[in-house]
Structure 1
Amino acid sequence: MAANFAALDRYIDRQIEAVAGYFGPVEAAAIDAVGRWQAEQGIAGNLAEIGVHHGKLFFILALLRQAGERALAIDLFQDDGLNTGIHAGRDTAFFDNRARLGIALDEPEVWTVDSLTLTAETLRARIGEVRLFSVDGGHAYRNVIHDMRLAEAVLADDGVMIVHDFFGVGWPDVSVAAIHLLTEMKDRLQPFLITQYKLFVARPAVAEHYRAMLVTSPRLRGAHLSERTMFDRPITLFNLGRRELLERRIKRKLGLYPKTL
């Protein structure tokens, strides 16, 4: 399956707001830019997410697939004990959204399983090497550590891991666990981008390539990028100013979704 950028543009520019999820236009643009750049550079590998919720991020991954690549949605779905109250319907929302948006997935690309039961070997047997891996499963310390280890074990040399809710005030264990693991694996993983909701991590040998891409990507035109340090290494901060946020809110209400930031 070749990467369908027309479908990806349509989803991000006009459909993504109708899918429930916990990230904004900054994160969508960054994931799109990273995944599209990988495809343009000939970086091959599959795409995966632990914790897909209603599919808001996973559908970006699915629409980034190139010929011969697969996407893998890992979640408890109907087996999720938290599928009650305000979260009721999580077991069906992903599949309803997939059908409504017309996103084709083969049966092996949806895996109903507790990620804590997976090992690097079982995950590799299912999906192989991954170029873009989103970690958004359980937010307890042991879940985050375990899921990041899984992602690292199958991450391609040129791949990117995305950690959700890093620095999220409601989920302190995510930050603590991620910092502990990144300290332990500093020779194998290096953060290169941080947004309000997500931390982007790559292999040290390619982290600067991704940071350079952020500056030149047409998908991030108009983005507010600044440089800080993390673990004594440079990292890019990506956000929108108040004016840009207000413009986007107005355009959403009017149905005018921009193709770039």
Structure 2
Amino acid sequence: MTHDLKPAIPSPGHPAVEAYLAEGYDSVVGMSSRFAAAICARLLRLQTQEGVTGPIAEIGAFEGRFFIALAHALEPGELALALDIFSWPDPGVEQRFEANCARHGIGAERRRTIKGDAGAMAPADLLAQAGGAPLRFIHIDGEHSRAALTRDLALATACLAEGGLIVLDDMLHPGYPTLMVAVQAYLEANPDIVPLCVIDRETIVGATKFVLCQRAWFERYQSRLLEIFKDFVWPLGADFEPHWCLVLSQDTRLAEIV
């Protein structure tokens, strides 16, 4: 089976994101993949085109690698919130986060740093940090335990805007096999939320992400994703029993049957 060559990553849809991914991404310590960052930036552009606007948040911002890409994808006047305990692996991580944001063009007027445990935060407090507006995009990359992910998902759901997206990091990672248990329980308890797509891993550290959306928005978003990412759609998709969604991958081959 032969395959035509395609770009290593899809267009992020924003010149500032494209420049950062090409020239600055690897200089910021972190484990998120460039492939996923490009897709998530393009999802933010898609939201804007669909009339979904407002602030975003990342739970587990670390030194800012993924956060900076997301912030560059925002429209003028939109705010990016960075939530983290900022004590791992050492207390200097918050200073490095702030320095990385400044070095890569995300000024203090475009972001808000929130130090603390997101799982202990009330939805009203997070919304207040966002100026009272619901969040259109929430990336969850916090503590990798079932209990923490369950709390983070509850917070994200309570703060989600109409048409909003929740992105879960390190799904199906061999180091955190029980996270999928928390995700399945969440989906069963929240039938109005469904997987929109799976973003395949780039490496074992640049791991798989799940993108979740409101069920009422699934068809609307899926039709656009099929157009935008047509070169990156793995043909068989993902079966969440009974829900089906797209898989976006750099490698779209199927196994050869001989």
- Give the deviation of 1:145 after TM superposition: 0.4
Hey, what does 1:210 align to over in structure 2? 221
**Structure 2 match to 1:164:** 169
Q: Matched residue of 2:162: which SS?
A: strand
- Cα offset for 1:202? 0.1
For residue 58 of structure 1, report the CA deviation from its aligned partner.
Answer: 0.8
- After TM superposition, list the pairs within 5 Å mapping 1:15-54 onto structure 2: 15-54=24-63
> How far apart, CA to CA, are the structure 1 residues paired with 2:111 and 2:75?
17
Q: 2:81 aligns with which of 72, 79, 102?
A: 72
Q: Distance in 1 between matches of 2:46 and 2:245?
A: 19
- The residue number in structure 2 matching 1:83 is 89
CA change 1:200–1:107 in 2 (3 A) is closer
Where does structure 2 lack aligned partners over 5 or more consecutive residues? 1-12, 202-207, 254-258
TM-score (norm 1): 0.81
Q: Percent identity between the aligned chains? A: 26
Q: 2:193 corresponds to which residue? A: 189
For residue 214 of structure 1, give the secondary structure of its aligned residue in structure 2: helix
* Equivalent residue number for residue 3 of structure 2: none
Match of 1:258 in 2: none
Aligned match of 2:157? 152
Secondary structure at the residue paired with 1:153?
helix
The aligned counterpart of 2:7 is none
Deviation of the 1:108 alpha carbon: 6.7
Stretches of structure 1 that go unaligned for 5 or more consecutive residues are 244-261
Cα 1:240–1:204, aligned 2, differ >3 Å: closer, same or farther? same
Within 5 A, what are the aligned runs for 1:232-247?
232-241=242-251
CA-CA distance at 1:242 after TM superposition = 8.9
Cα distance in 1, alignment partners of residues 113 and 38 from structure 2:
24
Cα displacement string for residues 24-70 of structure 1 (whole angstroms, at most 9, x for unaligned residues): 23212210221111122221121101000111111122112223321
**Residue matched to 1:138:** 143
Say if 2:44 and 2:74, in contact at 8 Å, map to a contact too: no
Q: Secondary structure at the match of 1:106?
A: helix
Compute the TM-score of the two structures, normalised by the length of structure 2. 0.82
**Residue 228 (structure 2) pairs with residue 222 (structure 1):** no
The question of whether the paired residues in 1 share the 8 Å contact of 2:58 and 2:67 is answered with yes
Shift in Å at residue 83 of structure 1?
2.0
Residue number in structure 2 paired with 1:101: 104
Equivalent position amino acid for 1:179 in 2: Q
Residues 46 and 131, structure 1, Cα contact 8 Å, conserved in 2 = yes
The DSSP-based 3-state class of the residue aligned with 2:234 is: strand
Which range moved further: 226-235 or 151-160? Answer: 226-235
Which contiguous aligned blocks of 4+ residues in structure 1 show a shift greater than 3 angstroms?
A: none
Q: Verify the 8 A CA contact 2:168 2:209 in the aligned structure 1.
A: yes
Q: Give the helix-richer structure, 1 or 2.
A: 1
Q: How does 1:172-187 map to 2 (within 5 A)?
A: 172-186=177-191
The Cα RMSD (Å) is: 2.1
Residues 109-160 of structure 1: per-residue CA shift (max 9 Å, x gap): 1111111220112112222311111011111111100001100111111010
Report the counterpart of residue 92 of structure 1 in structure 2. Answer: 95
Q: Distance in 2 between matches of 1:90 and 1:174?
A: 25
Offset of residue 161 of structure 1: 0.2
Corresponding residue number in structure 2 for 1:254? none
Query: Cα offset for 1:106?
Result: 3.0
For residues 112-123 of structure 1, what are the structure 2 equivalents within 5 Å?
A: 112-123=115-126
Contact 1:83 1:91 in 2 (8 A): no
